[in-house]
């Protein structure tokens, strides 16, 4: 058993997770079809874990009690090696705890666990953040999986759509230079359906700050499909890098700093504020339909 990765499966789905970043790095159906982006040079990641921030801070700087700490986009978890807590034929669990390197960027005590499990044709991922300090823990967390787009070689990207559980007519937010814009972008989601094309992402991500839906289906009219469902995450981001063949369906608890926010980190909008000794959880599930 490798210390670097853990592969696990049931008959309908197979996955692999890396210790580095606790990152999902492979997701296949029972027939062996890959659904996850292969971390090619256009974007060398598969499904990074976001913690303790989502998006960017203004000037990549966390301000707390008058002190300034440098922390770059999406936080440090995706670049840290997690420890294995459990590994089995169909699951694994990993943990990251604060240390001098994290406190140099983020002056708080924490325990951050990720649990992955497969059953049927679904992968479930659970996040658990615990405040191990003596003061409130301000934090955000998020999931950033990139799915192949198109899911089948040779299909046109414009064959695909996202179908939401509910209609999503509310204005969207976006990001400019990594910082959050006001909710002033008209929603391109019509009747609960977003017809996909690369031009949607010319101005970066589409952000639903308060989605009514708890699941969304990514598919063409026929062929394989991916359904993503979630609990405990409050925002939804949809993103791709123009010219690359992936689509990210991202669940977040927290967003980037508004462009005009320069206050103490604990006052940043959309954070979790976790009392000492308490925890917060969130989860998402990916269900594969071979088609």
Residue-wise pLDDT for 173-202, tens only, equals: 999 999 999 989 999 999 999 999 999 999
Q: Domain total for the chain?
A: 1
Q: What DSSP line would sit under 44-67, residue for residue?
A: --SSPEE-S-SS--GGGEEEETTE
Domain that holds residue 47: 5-289
* pLDDT tens, residue by residue, 71-130: 999 999 999 999 999 999 999 999 999 999 999 999 999 999 999 999 999 999 999 999
Short-list 102, 50, 52, CA closest to 266: 52
Asked if omega into 52 is within 30° of 0 (cis), the reply is yes
CA distances from residue 77 to 43, 44, 48, 95, 196 in whole angstroms, order as listed: 18, 16, 9, 10, 30
CATH number at residue 118: 2.70.98.10
């Amino acid at each position: 058993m490798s210390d670097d990765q853990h592969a696990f499966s049931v008959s309908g789905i197979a996955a692999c997770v890396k210790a580095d970043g606790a990152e999902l790095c492979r997701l296949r159906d029972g027939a062996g079809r890959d659904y996850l982006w292969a971390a090619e040079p256009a974007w060398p990641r598969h499904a990074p874990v976001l913690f303790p921030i989502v998006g960017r801070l203004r000037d990549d700087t966390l301000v707390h009690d008058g002190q300034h700490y440098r922390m770059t986009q999406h936080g440090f978890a995706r670049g840290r090696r997690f420890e294995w807590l459990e590994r089995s034929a169909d699951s694994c669990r990993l943990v990251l705890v604060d240390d001098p390197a994290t406190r140099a960027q983020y002056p708080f005590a924490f325990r951050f666990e990720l649990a992955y499990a497969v059953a049927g044709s679904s992968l479930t991922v659970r996040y658990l953040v615990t405040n191990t300090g003596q003061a409130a823990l301000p934090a955000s967390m998020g999931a950033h999986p990139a799915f192949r787009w198109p899911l089948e070689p040779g299909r046109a990207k414009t064959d695909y759509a996202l179908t939401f559980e509910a209609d999503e007519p509310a204005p969207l937010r976006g990001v400019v230079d990594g910082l959050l814009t006001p909710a002033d972008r008209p929603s391109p989601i019509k009747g609960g359906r977003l017809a996909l094309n690369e031009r949607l992402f010319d101005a970066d991500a589409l952000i639903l700050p308060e989605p009514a839906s708890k699941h969304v289906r990514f598919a063409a009219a026929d062929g394989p499909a991916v359904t993503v469902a979630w609990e405990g995450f409050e925002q939804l981001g949809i993103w791709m890098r123009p010219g690359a063949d992936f689509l990210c369906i991202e669940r977040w608890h927290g967003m980037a700093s508004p462009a005009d926010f320069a206050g103490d980190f604990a006052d940043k909008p959309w954070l979790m504020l976790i009392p000492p000794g308490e925890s917060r959880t969130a989860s998402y599930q990916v269900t594969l339909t071979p088609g």
